[in-house]
Amino acid sequence: MKYFIMFGPPGAGKGTHAVAIKEKYNLRHISTGELLREQIAAGTELGLKADALIKDGKLVPDEVVEGMIEHCFDTMKDCEGFLLDGFPRTLEQAKALDAMIAARGETLSGVISIMIPDEMVFQRIHHRAEIEGRADDASDDTIRNRIATYHAQTEPLIEHYRNAGKYHEVDGTGGTIEENRARVLKLMESIF
Ligand code: ATP
Ligand code: MG
């Protein structure tokens, strides 16, 4: 099995481009954000707890998302591998993922990082708020907190994966969605 990570700040286009990649390469797309939103929509106890944290721009506890990922690895079959979107987001999660992959006798295939500056995060999320109506996209305070959370807890992963020789970055700013997608697919082609 192959294990790819879509990495980047909120609104970078991880989910958008993951769809094109998973179809082309027969990977299962695992978005922890989407899995959490399903729990919220279903009104589960986990969903209730996650909802409050997400609206605050904070992360849900590591063990919650780690459990979700492990469950996906155990149950998703008939594919070439996995495309993780929104996970890992902390060093602790990255280490847990390294251990899960090692326990399966496999190695991480690569990290596809889509980079945009903070100002663009606001633009992108404001635009998405009109289309998707996500609660955590609605307030600037939440967006600011998500950006701060990204810099404090998620950005250190760049170093972790660079040291492992797995880190690949594309510019997520220039041009249309299609032009950005072409850049992401070109990178994927060179590392698959
Ligand atoms: P994108 O814009 O690329 O979809 P995002 O950061 O805006 O990225 P999601 O990835 O959908 O949005 O995540 C939404 C929220 O769910 C996060 O802000 C966080 O609170 C929670 N969440 C998602 N994944 C994780 C994770 N791996 N660890 C902890 N919390 C998570
Ligand atoms: Mg997403």
- Sequence spans of domains, the chain: 2-187
User: Which CATH number does the domain 2-187 belong to among 3.40.50.300, 3.40.50.1100, 3.40.462.40, 2.50.20.10?
Assistant: 3.40.50.300
Ligand 2 centroid to residue 16 C-alpha, Å: 7
Q: Which of 30, 82, 113, 136 has most ligand 1 atoms within 8 Å of its beta carbon, as the pocket-test mutant? A: 136
Backbone angles phi, psi at 38, to 5 degrees: -65, -40
What predicted TM-score, i.e. pTM, was given to this entire model? 0.96
Ligand 1 in reach of 60 Cβ (< 6 A): yes
Instruction: Provide the pLDDT for residue 174.
Output: 82
Q: Could you report the per-residue pLDDT of 62-117, keeping only the tens digit for each?
A: 999 999 999 999 999 999 999 999 999 999 999 999 999 999 999 999 999 999 99
Give me 141's structure tokens: 């305070």
Instruction: Catalogue the long-range contacts made by 172-175 (C-beta closer than 8 Å, 24 or more residues apart).
Output: 172/8, 172/12, 172/13, 172/114, 172/115, 172/116, 173/115, 173/116, 173/117, 173/120
- Determine whether the shortest distance from the Cβ of 166 to ligand 1 is under 6 A: no
